[in-house]
Amino acid sequence: MKKLKTLIFLVTIICLLKCKSNTHQKTENKTSKITATINGTWKSVGYGRIVNITDEVVSLYDVNNISCLPSEEFPREAAEQFLSLKLKNENTLKVKMGITTYDFVRLEKMPKNCTPLSETEKNDPLFNFESLWQTFNEHYSYFKERNIDWNAMKSKYKSKLSSESSPLELYVVLRDMLKEMKDGHVGIPLPEEIAEEYVAYKKSETQSNPKKQRRKINFDEFKFEQFGKYVSDYKTYNYGILNWGLINEDVMFLQINGMMGFAHYNLGDDPEKAEALYEQYAEESDNQTQDEVDGAAYIMDTIFPELAKTKACIIDLRFNGGGTDEVALKILSYFTKEETTVFSKKAYIKEGEYTTANVIRISPAKKVFNGDLYILTSPLSASATEIFVLSSLKATPNAIRVGSNTEGIFSDILDKQLPNGWSYGLSNEIYESMDGVNYENIGIPAHHHIEYNRESGYKFVSKLQDQKKDEAVEKVLELVKEN
Residues 6 or more apart from 35 whose CB is under 8 A from it? Answer: 19
C-alpha torsion sign, points 143, 144, 146, 151: positive
- Per-domain residue ranges for the chain? 8-107, 119-212, 219-408+443-482
By CB atoms closer than 10 A (0-12, 13-18, 19+), residue 455 is: exposed
DSSP 8-state secondary structure symbol assigned to residue 446: P
Residue 31: its pLDDT value, please?
39
The pLDDT value given to residue 215? 57
| pLDDT number for residue 156 | 98
User: Rounded to the nearest 5°, which phi and psi values hold at 251?
Assistant: -125, 120
Write down the pLDDT at residue 6. 35
**Which residues, other chains included, contact 324 with Cβ-Cβ below 8 Å and sequence gap of 6+?**
2, 98, 259, 260, 289, 292, 293, 384
Give the mean pLDDT per block of 10 residues along the chain (483 residues): 40 37 34 58 94 83 92 70 62 81 91 89 97 97 96 98 97 97 96 94 74 66 91 94 97 98 94 92 91 98 98 97 96 98 96 94 97 97 98 98 97 95 96 96 97 84 86 97 90
Q: How far apart are CA 387 and CA 368, in angstroms?
A: 19
Look at the domain 219-408+443-482 and name its fold.
2-enoyl-CoA Hydratase; Chain A, domain 1 (3.90.226)
